[in-house]
Amino acid sequence: MTTASDPAAAPVLPPVSQPFVCPDDAACWLHQHERRADKEYGALILQRPDGKFVATSPTAGEADAFDFERLLGFDRSTQTIIHPPGYRCVGLHHSHPEHEREIVRMYPHYRADQVKLHITLPSTVDLALAFRQAPVLRQLYLSSPYGSLIGYAIDPKHTSRSPAYGMGSTPESRIRRIVTIGRLWVLHPGTVWGGRRGRVTADWVPFQPLTPGPADLAPS
């Protein structure tokens, strides 16, 4: 996922979904769409004046990126999001393609299960956007080719450091860092996330089911 490229191209809002009572439901609606395995797809999650949430129809991007400025206005000089008329953008959804070969090339020390777990997680570029827009984008969602859907957000009080700081060199260390400075929750575990939904906490054990408990409640 990226935000960049042609500043002259005005964003175009795709058709939106039916209304949902929470952003997680809008993300689940996006997750169930058919996607080609060789492209990233992106969508906005928008709040209406009545408090309900809608998702824009998923839009295909490139093989290794989705440029959200195709959908969402952005003021470069102030680094602020320009919300679509009639809505407030509260979150983004995007999907990762099955680019295992590239991950193996970039991280030759990973085991096969770590390659898959890595693809279910926000990339360094995704995290940079989560840091930059932390006060506005409180629910970021990511679908993987293994059936998983996760949500993540960075607490605005932790955005003064570099997004790469403390992320470590494995997907497990990245997860532990994100849950320390923000939130990470599993809506659909797919084949990688140990079979259970809920919030991931600092005592998370890799490749094991999440511990059931109050943390399973969807965060707002």
**Which residues of the chain form contacts with Zn ion (CB under 5 A)?**
1, 123, 126
- State which residue, 33 or 52, has the beta carbon closest to Zn ion: 33
Nearest in space to 60 (alpha carbons), one of 71, 48, 49, 50:
71
In angstroms, give the least distance from the CB of 47 to Zn ion.
Answer: 23
Write phi, then psi, for 187 (nearest 5 degrees): -95, -40
Residue type at 219 in one-letter notation: P
- State which residue, 25 or 67, has the beta carbon closest to Zn ion: 67
In angstroms, give the least distance from the CB of 95 to Zn ion.
Answer: 8
The CA distance from 97 to 89, in Å, is: 24
Strands (E), 96-191: 139-143, 149-154, 182-188
In angstroms, give the least distance from the CB of 25 to Zn ion.
Answer: 22
Q: Within 13 A of 209's CA, how many CA atoms are on the CB side?
A: 7
- State which residue, 17 or 120, has the beta carbon closest to Zn ion: 120
- State which residue, 17 or 123, has the beta carbon closest to Zn ion: 123
Q: Which helix (H) or strand (E) holds 130?
A: helix 124-132
In angstroms, give the least distance from the CB of 201 to Zn ion.
Answer: 23
